[in-house]
Amino acid sequence: MKDETLNHSVDEVREYHSDSCGIFFRVERSVYRGRSQFQSIEIFDNPFFGRVLMLDGLVQTTIRDEHYYHEMLVHPAMMTHPDPKRILIIGGGDGGVLREVLRHPIEKAVLVEIDDQVLDVSEKYFPWLAAAKKDPRAEIIVDDGNVYIENASCSFDVVLIDSSDPVGPSSVLHARDFYIRLKKILSPEGIIAAQVGSPFFHAAVLADKKEFLAEIFPGVRFYVGPVPTYPGGTWCYAFMSVKPDFPEPRNEPLEGLKYYNPPVHQGAFALSEALKIRLDADQPD
């Protein structure tokens, strides 16, 4: 692309949020470009957001805003379960979700990532996320999450689904069958938290998901949080449990957070009128 102000060509990367709009990043430095068995992997530095990871052309994480997503996928579930000790992370090969999980006094966190190249490049180019994988409480498994849960012999207190959008290797992690299987490996008070997409761009997908999740789980609640680089800037997550009600979150202080705190937790479950209607959700105001 030609940049009029610089009067020379600069590299630019875009993610389309619809056919006609999206987000672009100026590439200050291209760090890695490759294709794994599963997806394209692109890593570059942007002057504003810092290092950016894209998979199949979709923004996964940037230095500047990764904390919103990682904290909001992890801490609501970890603070709501009365005593989370065994944690399962599906996806999340970059290590950001694991880093947040390890802030809690857990016994074991198993991370199941399908793409070993995501694990490798994260270690090289996102060490501040990937360092968590060296923690003695962490076990990293390269496997298809869908296959892993089919054969898992133990149960988990909290399961976190850190997938990409429902395209490519992540699509199975958004499907009904996957959640039917997941339910079987949940401990009696277990909670699943999953990223489900943009309430603005993916409302129909969210509504569909809410419907089938409510058929599988007695307890289902959706919540939202900001992620500036994801489509629409607000992201939606789902909570599921085999109990119909979720306990009040614990209030214990957590070190080193930038976004999550108890009032943010409460507020995240307040959905807009439009989203409530769309989801037909039984949510508090």
Q: Which residues bind ligand AG3 (CB under 6 A)?
A: 15, 58-61, 92, 94, 96-97, 162, 164-165, 195, 230-231
Place of tokens 């100026």: 26
Q: Which two tokens stand for residue 36?
A: 């794994």
CB of 156 to ligand AG3, least distance (A): 19
Q: Containing H/E element for 187?
A: strand 186-197
Q: Which two tokens stand for residue 43?
A: 């890593």
Buried b (16+ CB within 10 A) or exposed e, 252-283: eebeeeeebeeeebeebbebeeebeebbebee
CB of 201 to ligand AG3, least distance (A): 8
**175 vs 242 by CB, closer to ligand AG3:** 175
**189 vs 200 by CB, closer to ligand AG3:** 200
- CA angle 252/223/238 to nearest 5° reads 100
CB of 76 to ligand AG3, least distance (A): 16
Q: Assess whether 162 carries a catalytic annotation.
A: yes
Buried b (16+ CB within 10 A) or exposed e, 22-47: ebebbbeeebeeeebebbebbbbbbe
**3 vs 53 by CB, closer to ligand AG3:** 53
CB of 9 to ligand AG3, least distance (A): 26
**132 vs 191 by CB, closer to ligand AG3:** 132
Residue type, 235: W
CA distance 113 to 163: 10
**15 vs 144 by CB, closer to ligand AG3:** 15
**7 vs 160 by CB, closer to ligand AG3:** 160
Is residue 189 within 8 Å of residue 82, measured between CB atoms?
yes
In terms of residues, how long is the chain?
A: 285
CB of 82 to ligand AG3, least distance (A): 26
CB of 203 to ligand AG3, least distance (A): 14
**3-state helix/strand/coil string of 239-257:** EEECCCCCCCCCCCCCCCC
Q: Which of 115, 157, 162, 165 is catalytic?
A: 162
Residues labelled catalytic: 162
